[in-house]
Amino acid sequence: MAKKAKILCKWKSEDITKKLAKYSDIVRNPQFVCTKCGRVADKKKWLHKPTALK
């Protein structure tokens, strides 16, 4: 089985540094924001408690 991707809410600064290209793709066109931590992403699956940006 493939390893499940870690949600952005749990990424640490080292994760962002190591996977900067992936991170950039995820946050480039934000459609959702996490109401828990404030991070943004293009898909719900990347966040703990996503809500759509208006």
Residue 20 included in any domain = no
Residue 7 included in any domain = no
Q: State the Cα torsion 7-10-13-14 to the nearest 10°.
A: -80
Residue 34 included in any domain = yes
Residue 21 included in any domain = no
Residue 6 included in any domain = no
Using CA atoms, how far apart are residues 40 and 37, in angstroms rounded to an integer? Answer: 9
Total domains present in the chain: 1
pLDDT tens digits for range 15-54: 999 999 999 999 999 999 999 999 999 999 999 999 999 8
Residue 48 included in any domain = yes
pLDDT at 1: 60
Structural domain span for residue 33 = 27-54
**Total Cβ atoms within 10 A of residue 41:** 23
Residue 5 included in any domain = no
Burial-class residue 27 by CB neighbours within 10 Å (0-12, 13-18, 19+). Answer: middle
